[in-house]
C-alpha cells in the first residue's frame, strides 16, 4: 500500500486551473494518457486523417471551504474531505477526431476542400464537478466534453 495525499512525501498535488477563465477546475495529473494519430495520402489528392486521445480522468479533490480554525492569523481554511486528491477520479476521457480532404492542384496553386469531424463518438464525458461541500451546487456538473462538431473548410495555397 502506497501513501498519497496532502503532506505525504511524493503524494499527489491538486492545482486549481488558472488563466482559462474557468474556475473550480482542479488538475490532478492522470496516471496514463495515450494519443495516436495518422494520415493516409490516397490517390487523386484525397487525404484521410484521424486523431484519438484517451486519458484517465482527473482526480476529484472533494473539499469544504471557509472552515473556521480559531487561529487569529488564519481564521478560515479549506479542508480536503477525501482521503487524497485522487482517491476518486472522473471518468476516462476518449476523443476521436477525423479529417477528409480533397486537394486540387493548378500549376503553383493548390485548392483544398476539408471536412473535419470532432468527437465522432459524441461522448459527453464529465470533465469537472463542484467539489466544494459549502456550495449549493455541490457535486453538480460544471463541464462536459464538447459535442460532435463538423467543420467544412476551404484553403488556397500558392
Q: Give mean pLDDT in consecutive 10-residue pieces for the chain, a chain of 158 residues.
A: 58 68 69 96 96 92 88 87 83 97 93 97 92 91 93 94
pTM of the model: 0.76
The burial class, CB within 10 Å (0-12 / 13-18 / 19+), for 54 is middle
CB-based contact 48:39 (threshold 8 Å) = yes
pLDDT, residue 122, reads 96
pLDDT, residue 37, reads 98
Q: Where are the domains of the chain?
A: 15-157
pLDDT, residue 1, reads 44
Q: What is the dihedral of CA 53, 57, 59, 60, to 10 degrees?
A: 130
Amino acid at each position: 500500500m502506497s501513501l498519497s495525499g496532502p503532506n505525504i512525501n511524493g503524494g499527489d498535488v491538486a492545482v486549481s486551473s488558472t488563466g482559462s477563465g474557468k474556475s473550480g477546475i482542479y488538475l490532478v495529473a492522470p496516471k496514463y494518457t495515450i494519443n495516436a494519430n495518422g494520415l493516409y495520402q490516397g490517390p487523386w489528392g484525397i487525404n484521410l486523417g484521424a486523431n484519438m486521445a484517451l486519458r484517465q480522468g482527473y482526480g476529484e479533490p472533494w473539499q469544504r471551504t471557509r472552515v473556521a480554525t480559531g487561529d487569529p492569523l488564519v481564521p478560515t481554511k479549506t479542508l480536503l474531505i477525501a482521503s487524497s486528491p485522487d482517491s476518486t477520479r472522473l471518468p476516462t476521457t476518449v476523443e476521436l477526431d477525423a479529417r477528409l480532404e480533397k486537394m486540387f492542384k493548378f500549376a503553383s496553386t493548390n485548392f483544398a476542400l476539408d471536412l473535419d469531424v470532432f468527437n465522432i463518438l459524441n461522448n459527453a464525458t464529465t470533465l469537472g464537478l463542484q467539489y466544494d461541500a459549502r456550495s449549493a451546487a455541490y457535486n453538480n456538473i460544471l463541464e462536459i466534453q464538447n459535442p460532435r462538431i463538423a467543420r467544412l473548410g476551404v484553403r488556397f495555397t500558392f
